[in-house]
Amino acid sequence: MPIVQIDWVEGRSIEQKRELAEKVTTAVVEAAKCPPEAVTIIIRDQPKTNIAKAGTLMSDKK
């Protein structure tokens, strides 16, 4: 604990995932006053066909 689950659109590079992991961990550590070792992050890559906003799939957006 804390455990962080992040859903975003697939296609991000390994560098972006590395940056996400580092920066989100730092942010959580500062707010939660916990050691970095306590923070686990799960990144969930989602295809645009599997996300909808206002009833429209992201893959259908123009």
Interacting residue ranges for a copy of itself, rule: CB under 8 A: 1-9, 12, 14, 16-28, 30-33, 35-37, 39-46, 49-60
Q: In angstroms, rounded to a whole number, what is the distance separating the alpha carbons of residues 26 and 32?
A: 10
Of 30 and 62, CB closest to a copy of itself = 30
Count the Cβ atoms, other than its own, within 10 Å of residue 43.
15
Characterize the bridge pairing of strands 56-57 and 40-46: unpaired
In whole angstroms, how close is the CB of 29 to a copy of itself at the nearest point?
8
In whole angstroms, how close is the CB of 10 to a copy of itself at the nearest point?
10
Please say if 2 is a catalytic residue: yes
Whether the Cβ atoms of residue 17 and residue 43 lie closer than 8 Å to each other: yes
Active site residues: 2
